Amino acid sequence: MLCLFCKKDAQGSRSVEHVVPESLGNTTMTLPAGTVCDACNNYFAVKVEKPFLESPSIVALRFHQAIPSKKRRIPPLEGAFGPDLPVTVYRHADGPLGGVISVPWEAMSYLPNGGKAVINLPAASDEWRVEEVSRFMAKAALESLAARLLDNPVGVHSLVADAQLDPIRDYARYGKGKLWPIHSRRIYEADKSWVLSTGETVQRVWESDFLHTSRGEVYYVLAVFGLELVINLLGPVVQGYQTWLAENRGMSPLYHGKNA
C-alpha cells in the first residue's frame, strides 16, 4: 500500500492517523496503519497539527470549553493579573480541583491592598492566522476523503494515483506552492449544546462534510466549536464557496439538505 501523501511504500508503517487530532476529541475518524506512512504521520503531528492546536484561538477555545488532550490535559491560558503581571491559569479535566493559577512573586504586593484580585484572560476569538490553519485543513481534507473510501481499497488507491489531488497533497505534506486560503465564519455559538434523543445534552466539538458544487468544485467543510472552516480540494481559491453560499441562503453545507 502506498502512502496517501508521499506515495512511498507504507506497508510496514504502524501509526494510526487521526483525521482530526485526538486533542479535539476525535477517537472515531481514523485511518488504519499503512494509509499514511510513519514518516508523514510524525511530520504532520509536529509541523501541521501542533501549530494548529497551539494557535491562540484554538488554545482559548480548548481552555474555555475545557476540552482535554489525549493525556487529559487542558492547555493553560496566559493572562494578566493586576495592571500588567503575567499569570498562567490551569484547568483540570479530572478530579475535584477546578484549576490552579500560577502568579509571579511580585503579585503578592497587590494582594494586601484591595483583597480582591482581577485576572484578565483572553476570550475565545474567531480570529485565525491562515498560516496556522491552512495546511492542517489540506491534510484533514485529503484524509477525510480517504476515510470515506476505507471499505473500498481500490478507492483509497485511486486517491493516491489521482493527479488532480497532487497540489493539495504536496501542499499539506511539503508546504509546496502558495498559501491556500480558508473561508471561515461562525455558524453557531461555541458553547451551544444539543439535546440527543436520549435526553442527554452534548456539545459538538467538531463535525465535517464535503460539498460538491454544480460547477465541479469540491470543498471540505470542518466546524470546530461552531467555527466553520472551508478549503477547496482542487486549488488555492475559495471564492466559489462564497458564490455557493450566496446561492444557498448562507446555509452551512453541514446542514444543507439534511434534517437537522
Which chain residues interact with Zn ion by CB under 5 A? 3, 5-6, 37, 40
Shortest CB 4 distance to Zn ion, Å: 7
Shortest CB 40 distance to Zn ion, Å: 3
Q: In the complex with Zn ion, which residue's Cβ is closer, 13 or 55?
A: 13
Give the count of beta carbons closer than 10 Å to the beta carbon of residue 22.
13
Q: In the complex with Zn ion, which residue's Cβ is closer, 5 or 63?
A: 5
Shortest CB 159 distance to Zn ion, Å: 13
Q: In the complex with Zn ion, which residue's Cβ is closer, 17 or 217?
A: 17
Shortest CB 17 distance to Zn ion, Å: 10
Q: In the complex with Zn ion, which residue's Cβ is closer, 20 or 37?
A: 37
Q: In the complex with Zn ion, which residue's Cβ is closer, 40 or 223?
A: 40
Shortest CB 9 distance to Zn ion, Å: 9
Q: How far is CA 184 from CA 127, 133, 226, in A?
A: 9, 10, 10
Shortest CB 106 distance to Zn ion, Å: 49
SS3 sequence of the chain = CECCCCCCECCCCCCCEECCCHHHCCCCCEECCCCCCHHHHHHHHHHHHHHHHCCHHHHHHHHHCCCCCCCCECCCEEEEECCCEEEEEEEECCCCCCEEEECCHHHHHHHHHHCCCCEECCCCCCCCCHHHHHHHHHHHHHHHHHHHCCCCHHHHHHHHHCHHHHHHHHHHHHCCCCCCCCEEEECCCCCCEEECCCCCEEECCEEEEEEECCCCCEEEEEEECCEEEEEECCCCCCHHHHHHHHHCCCCCCCCCCCCC
Shortest CB 19 distance to Zn ion, Å: 15
Q: In the complex with Zn ion, which residue's Cβ is closer, 40 or 205?
A: 40
The half-sphere exposure of 80 on its side-chain side, counting CA atoms within 13 A, is 6
Q: In the complex with Zn ion, which residue's Cβ is closer, 132 or 143?
A: 143
